[in-house]
Structures are given as structure tokens and as C-alpha cells.
Amino acid sequence: MKDFDVILIGAGVCGCAIARELSRYSLRTCVLEAEEDVCCGTSKANSAIVHAGFDAPPGTLMSRLNVEGSQQMERLSKELDFPYRQNGAMVLCLDPKDLPVLMRLQKQGEQNGVQGLRLLSGEEARAIEPNLSDEVSACLFAPTSAILCPFLLTIALAENACTNGVSFFFDTRVKKIDRDSSGGWIVQSEHDAFHAKIVINAAGVYADDIHNLVSEDPLRIVARRGEYKLMDKEASSFVSHTLFQLPGKMGKGVLLTPTIHGNLLAGPTAEDIADKEGTCTTSSGLDELSR
């Protein structure tokens, strides 16, 4: 049995960020990852946006961590040498009747501590983003929104944690978790057993499975598949900001954003699915993004 102070389950961006933070302390920390490398799940396939924080309900943990994370990301990019660019975001309003939605988002963002939020008219919006449709009547401009490379961020976090002494175990899928007589935890995979005083669940979409190994109050995470359309770098000059629709019940909706690598990214769709491994693309998803 391998003995540690802290066991982290999951080597996505959250798990690797926690591992890096813990590596600053005199702790024996390990990360258990079911896949063959870091960043093999949602952390590698997303919009790659550092959200400003105006869309989270005020007073929630999400609102606080979103804004704090946004404020820290530029410094972190310099410390760990991953690409980052503060390009700003625009939430577009096509119907003047929806202007109160933008005003609510602005007020909400200001309550959360987001800096620099401004309401722009359609003309002002087109002045900084000339290819916007004439149908855009107003927008909420968030200058602190940014883009980065999510997999290079996660790799950099993991490498720094590893350099500072954190142990990573790959192809190590957790099968069982038990309490021991000392109040610690025994975490078992197919091939190894690990012991620690503290276990941190950072298993992403599978965090419910880990939770249900130890809790009598079961959780269920419903996976939501999002498909994207990645455009050629020849289209990179079409927009410079991240463009959002007004948010709906399924989230922020389809967006258009430049990537840190010089492409344009459109998406995601939003489809609740039963199979957490169902990450395939679909013709219906492509059709939706091509409209």
C-alpha cells in the first residue's frame, strides 16, 4: 500500500490546479488518473474561455471563484508559461425588448466584482467589432474576458506540481474507497491500494461515481455533450472578441470566439446524454452550428 497525506482523484484542470497548490506545502500528495495522461476529459475539450464572471448568481461560490480565477489567470500564465490573451467578450442583443436582460447581467456582474462592464449601443458595438450584424441593437461588453489553451494550462499545472514533489499515477481507475480504523481512507484501483488522511474528488463528469463510493446520499451527474465547429485560420480576422448570445436555460448558448492558436471556434451545442463517453460528433450538431 502506498501512503500519502492527500490523494487527489482526477488529473483534469481542477485536479492539477489543486495538486500544484498543495505542492507548496510539506505534504505527501498524489494524483490518481483513470486515463493515460492529464487533461483527457472535459479539460481538453471546451470553449477555452476565461469568463469574466457576470453570469453567475451573486453570492454563490461560483461567482466568487469565477471572478477570483479570472483575476489570477494572467499572472498564472506568466508563472507557468502557457498562452493567454485578454480579448474581451460581448453579449449580443438582437431585439431591443431584451435590453433589460443585458442590464440585469451588468448589475449582476458588478455585484460579483467584475471590472469594466459597459453597455454599448449597436453602433458602438460595431465600431469595435465591424463584422457584427446590423441586427445587433446593443451589447454588454466585458473587457476582462480572455482566451487561453486549456490543455497547455493543465499540462503546465501538472508539470509544476510534479516538479514540486506530487506523484502522478496514470491508468489508475478508482474502484473502491473505504475508511480505515484511524479515520483515514484506503483507495483501491485495479492494481494498487493507496492510503491518505484526506481524499479530494476532482473526477469531473465522473465525480458522482466517486462520491457514491463513500456516501449513502447518492448523486447523479447528467452529462451534457457540446459540439463545436473549428474554422480555418484564414477566418481568424473575422472577429477579435468572444461573442455570446443572450443566455438561455441550457447555458450561454452557441458562441463565436477566436482561439489562442489563431482559429475561430463556434459552439457548443448542448445535449443531455446518458452515456458519459458519448463524445462523438453528429450530423445534427453540425447542422445546428452551420445555420
- Residues with active-site annotation: 51
Nine-digit cell at 201?
Answer: 474528488
Nine-digit cell at 206?
Answer: 465522473
Angle at 27 between CA 184 and CA 68, to 5 degrees: 100
Nine-digit cell at 63?
Answer: 461567482
Encode 43-77: b = buried (16+ Cβ within 10 Å), e = exposed.
Answer: bbbbbbbbbbbbbbeeeeeebeebbeebbebbebb
Beta pairing, strands 89-93 & 118-121: unpaired
Q: Report the amino acid identity of residue 198.
A: I
What DSSP letter does each residue of 211-236 carry, written as one string? HHTT-SS---PPEEE---EEEPGGGT
Residue 52 to residues 65, 72, 142, 170, 263: CA-CA distances in angstroms? 11, 12, 7, 33, 21
Q: How far apart are CA 129 and CA 78, in angstroms?
A: 28
What DSSP letter does each residue of 32-53 carry, written as one string? E-SSSSSS-SGGGSS--EE--S
Nine-digit cell at 83?
Answer: 498562452
Among 259, 266, 265, smallest CA distance to 289 is for 266
